Structure 1
Amino acid sequence: MKEKVVLAYSGGLDTSVILKWLCEKGFDVIAYVANVGQKDDFVAIKEKALKTGASKVYVEDLRREFVTDYIFTALLGNAMYEGRYLLGTAIARPLIAKRQVEIAEKEGAQYVAHGATGKGNDQVRFELTYAALNPNLKVISPWKDPEFLAKFKGRTDLINYAMEKGIPIKVSKKRPYSEDENLMHISHEAGKLEDPAHIPDEDVFTWTVSPKDAPDEETLLEIHFENGIPVKVVNLKDGTEKTDPLELFEYLNEVGAKNGVGRLDMVENRFIGIKSRGVYETPGATILWIAHRDLEGITMDKEVMHLRDMLAPKFAELIYNGFWFSPEMEFLLAAFRKAQENVTGKVTVSIYKGNVMPVARYSPYSLYNPELSSMDVEGGFDATDSKGFINIHALRLKVHQLVKKGYQR
């Protein structure tokens, strides 16, 4: 009886060749296709997998779970890798790998396989998730397998093998970039973009219009949160209202994209130590992250916010590096969920030519006291108390200077 392997399958050249290669090595290959919002023909992908040799194909719609359990969870900690990247690819990988493990367990498979390269982050994200959720599963990673690498030294070898085995290859002109698309973002790498001094051509961008070409008209959105989670979006101009999590996020993508929101061009540090340039389009999440942070401004205690902000870079790093299912992630999420208990209310954002600007906010748990903050009203605050407050904090500075001058003498 053949050993079973569940292959994370996209329908592209690499995973199609891997599928056939695994079949020829004697495996019973079950192809698994994750729908996380990419614009693919899943019927055609399933048909291609079966023709290539898969004994069974799972096409799993993970979009709603992606939004509620992954994107919104990352939002709780304002996850942003190296202060800029909203982690669209990294957030999707643990979900994809988790479902792959579940299918392997259901099918009684001994192996899981993926097509991630040996230079990138995804190999780590997939394999750490496999290890965390089912350490008994064996992993086949062809792009780290000496036998596979000896046979396939580059794209030409893959194409020749596909043609020899009758694997359909798209004849349409391929975009000269390596791209990853899901509900949260689309990323663009490689090609001309490998030169960090090269300014991206406008045709790189497939989701968003250029801010220069965006409508010369403001869009006002009112975004509602409960315990840090988005629950409703209202367009204050045309009355459009979305409360379903998936529809809400798709609507934010739509509004953001047509207004040129969410473009990012950066050089980042991959987990394995290589620097990589990525060009990203993340319209909906950009709007949410800005609105959420603004609501925290009136609802979160100062010290709680500052502690959370100290932990946020580590949170983003854990997501980027593939440690979603780790003890340290459980620890951080417990703290972040506690910190979000009063992050309830609404924020109005003005969206205009690539910009997202909070212009109003309200919360029933607001810590903002107009009378205490007013420059015109005392509001029970005794200004003379500030003298002692400053003196206490100045003491340490005075001592430091006296000691410093003593050393100099």
Structure 2
Amino acid sequence: MSAPKKVVLAYSGGLDTSIILKWLQTEYGCEVVTFTADLGQGEELDPARKKAELMGIKPENIYIEDVREEFVRDFVFPMFRANALYEGLYLLGTSIARPLISKRLVEIAAETGADAVAHGATGKGNDQVRFELAAYALNPDIKVIAPWREWDLSSRTKLLAFAEQNQIPIAKDKRGDAPFSVDANLLHTSSEGKVLEDPAEAAPDYVYQRTVSPEDAPNTPEFLEVSFEKGDAVAINGEAMSPATILTKLNEYGGKHGIGRLDFVENRFVGMKSRGIYETPGGTVLLEAHRGIEQITLDSGAGHLKDSLMPRYAELIYNGFWFSPEREMLQAAIDKSQEHVTGTVRLKLYKGAATTVGRWSDHSLYSEAHVTFEDDAGAYDQKDAAGFIQLNALRLKLLAARNRRLKG
């Protein structure tokens, strides 16, 4: 790959990406544009601007953008229409943020005339795959620089030495090994590494940042109502809110009640197993609510097919194929299923659990007349079930007769 002339860097303002910024300048002698996304990670982003300026980045080449609404509206909500869970448990909080970051990297590259983008993902993880597959899907000619796969700064000691040599500010707590690494956005926090690397050892309490321990959660249940239109949450307790505001509010509810903790050993796309601690308080509440409204509005055939598609859909997101045609095909089917997923769910939040306790909708398929144990006034003729059973039993009878004949 020829040396890039201008690079758009996914820049957090932290030590690693600051080292990458300087390394790009010294290794390639190129101009650097920084992009910092406010995904709801809960950190002040202005220091990222100041640090970029301190390292010689022109003000016009510093992009700091609040993308929370786009993140929830165009990425999180479509994923939640599918009830997506990777390996049955993980709500894909890190995975779903990467395509949005890559999308903006590629767009900013086009706006600024940059010929490359760069990220700070290591060569052992999934994020390098997610960033780069998304970038190539959006611009097949873009160059992608992954410093962790190129440089010789292979240890924390070497990184700190490089930082000191180049006058890169180092926070005092970075001079020792961090106990674990954290990725955060509006959907979740993810903690990995160091004290969490032994899957036999329980995670220390200080790892959890967004949720109280379920044991310490309120002793009184709290109830709330979430309203949906076509599969997307639109209101809490009757108050209409924007997508990001809804997720923020659900995070508050879920965190208060210790909801959404996950200690998980997953299979990374690159081949290894990894142990992570995830907190997805609002997402866990949202998933329960969405499942609750689907119970009365989604036809059984459509619902069962959708559930069968979900593992493949979740795997595509986890592996970095958000912008692939197969994900878009599955999304079209999922979105079709959500046309009547409209109504309200009442939830009980208590000691780490979100439980559906009521649901209602003008689009409901639930017929009390058909399921009642009282007089159904002719809505359902129970005698019809006999023929239904006989027809479904026919092949089983033929199999049993054949097997009995062969044994005899």
Task: Give the shorter-chain TM-score range.
Answer: over 0.9
One of 289, 294, 297 as aligned partner of 1:296: 294
Aligned equivalent of 1:238:
none
Aligned equivalent of 1:162:
163
Q: Judge conservation of contact 1:19–1:54 (CA < 8 Å) in 2.
A: no
2:257 equivalent to 1:259: yes
Aligned equivalent of 1:20:
22
Counterpart-to-counterpart distance in 1, 2:70 and 2:275:
29
Moved over 6 A (4+): none
Q: Quick one: structure 1 residues 119 and 2, their matched pair in 2 at CA, closer, same or farther if it must change by over 3 Å?
A: closer
One of 195, 200, 203 as aligned partner of 2:203: 200
TM-score normalized with structure 2 length = 0.95
Aligned equivalent of 2:143:
138
Percent identity between the two aligned chains: 51
Partner SS state of residue 280, structure 1 = strand
Counterpart-to-counterpart distance in 2, 1:247 and 1:116:
29
CA positional deviation for 1:247: 1.6
Aligned equivalent of 1:224:
227
For 1:162, the aligned partner's letter is A
Aligned alpha-carbon RMSD (Å): 1.4
Q: Judge conservation of contact 1:176–1:191 (CA < 8 Å) in 2.
A: yes
Q: Quick one: structure 1 residues 175 and 233, their matched pair in 2 at CA, closer, same or farther if it must change by over 3 Å?
A: farther
Aligned equivalent of 2:279:
281
CA positional deviation for 1:308: 0.5
Q: Map 1:10-409 onto structure 2 (within 5 A).
A: 10-24=12-26, 25-55=28-58, 56-145=61-150, 148=151, 151-172=152-173, 175-234=178-237, 241-378=239-376, 379-409=378-408
For 2:21, the aligned partner's letter is L
Partner SS state of residue 172, structure 1 = helix
CA positional deviation for 1:2: 7.7
Counterpart-to-counterpart distance in 2, 1:250 and 1:337:
24
Q: For residues 21-40 of structure 1, what are the alpha-carbon distances to aligned partners after superposition, in whole Å with 9 as ceiling and x for unaligned? A: 11012110111111101122
Counterpart-to-counterpart distance in 2, 1:242 and 1:365:
19
Q: Judge conservation of contact 1:20–1:53 (CA < 8 Å) in 2.
A: no
Counterpart-to-counterpart distance in 2, 1:302 and 1:335:
15
CA positional deviation for 1:53: 3.5
For 1:11, the aligned partner's letter is G
Q: Quick one: structure 1 residues 97 and 47, their matched pair in 2 at CA, closer, same or farther if it must change by over 3 Å?
A: same
Q: Judge conservation of contact 2:69–2:242 (CA < 8 Å) in 1.
A: no
CA positional deviation for 1:46: 1.1
Partner SS state of residue 184, structure 1 = coil
Q: Quick one: structure 1 residues 185 and 2, their matched pair in 2 at CA, closer, same or farther if it must change by over 3 Å?
A: closer
CA positional deviation for 1:156: 0.8
Q: Quick one: structure 1 residues 246 and 400, their matched pair in 2 at CA, closer, same or farther if it must change by over 3 Å?
A: same
Counterpart-to-counterpart distance in 2, 1:270 and 1:98:
23
Q: For residues 63-108 of structure 1, what are the alpha-carbon distances to aligned partners after superposition, in whole Å with 9 as ceiling and x for unaligned? A: 1111111111111101111111000000111011101111000001
Partner SS state of residue 53, structure 2 = helix
Q: Judge conservation of contact 1:295–1:347 (CA < 8 Å) in 2.
A: yes
TM-score normalized with structure 1 length = 0.95
Q: Quick one: structure 1 residues 352 and 161, their matched pair in 2 at CA, closer, same or farther if it must change by over 3 Å?
A: same
Q: Judge conservation of contact 2:106–2:117 (CA < 8 Å) in 1.
A: yes
CA positional deviation for 1:401: 1.9
Partner SS state of residue 173, structure 2 = coil
Q: For residues 216-236 of structure 1, what are the alpha-carbon distances to aligned partners after superposition, in whole Å with 9 as ceiling and x for unaligned? A: 11111110000001000018x
Partner SS state of residue 86, structure 1 = coil
For 1:283, the aligned partner's letter is P
Counterpart-to-counterpart distance in 2, 1:81 and 1:130:
23
Q: Quick one: structure 1 residues 393 and 253, their matched pair in 2 at CA, closer, same or farther if it must change by over 3 Å?
A: same
Counterpart-to-counterpart distance in 1, 2:87 and 2:337:
22
Counterpart-to-counterpart distance in 2, 1:172 and 1:120:
24
Q: Judge conservation of contact 1:268–1:277 (CA < 8 Å) in 2.
A: yes
Q: For residues 292-332 of structure 1, what are the alpha-carbon distances to aligned partners after superposition, in whole Å with 9 as ceiling and x for unaligned? A: 01110110111000110010111111111111111011111
Counterpart-to-counterpart distance in 2, 1:113 and 1:230:
35
For 1:310, the aligned partner's letter is S
Q: Quick one: structure 1 residues 386 and 164, their matched pair in 2 at CA, closer, same or farther if it must change by over 3 Å?
A: same
Counterpart-to-counterpart distance in 2, 1:246 and 1:126:
23
Counterpart-to-counterpart distance in 1, 2:178 and 2:354:
30
Total equivalences in the alignment: 400
Partner SS state of residue 355, structure 2 = strand
Q: For residues 184-207 of structure 1, what are the alpha-carbon distances to aligned partners after superposition, in whole Å with 9 as ceiling and x for unaligned? A: 000111112111110111111011
For 1:339, the aligned partner's letter is S
For 2:120, the aligned partner's letter is G
Partner SS state of residue 88, structure 1 = coil
* Gap regions ≥5 residues in structure 1: 236-240
Q: For residues 1-47 of structure 1, what are the alpha-carbon distances to aligned partners after superposition, in whole Å with 9 as ceiling and x for unaligned? A: 98110011111222111110110121101111111011222111111
CA positional deviation for 1:242: 4.9
Counterpart-to-counterpart distance in 1, 2:375 and 2:289:
29
Counterpart-to-counterpart distance in 1, 2:407 and 2:198:
51
Q: For residues 92-128 of structure 1, what are the alpha-carbon distances to aligned partners after superposition, in whole Å with 9 as ceiling and x for unaligned? A: 1101110111100000110111110111010000000
Q: Judge conservation of contact 1:81–1:316 (CA < 8 Å) in 2.
A: yes
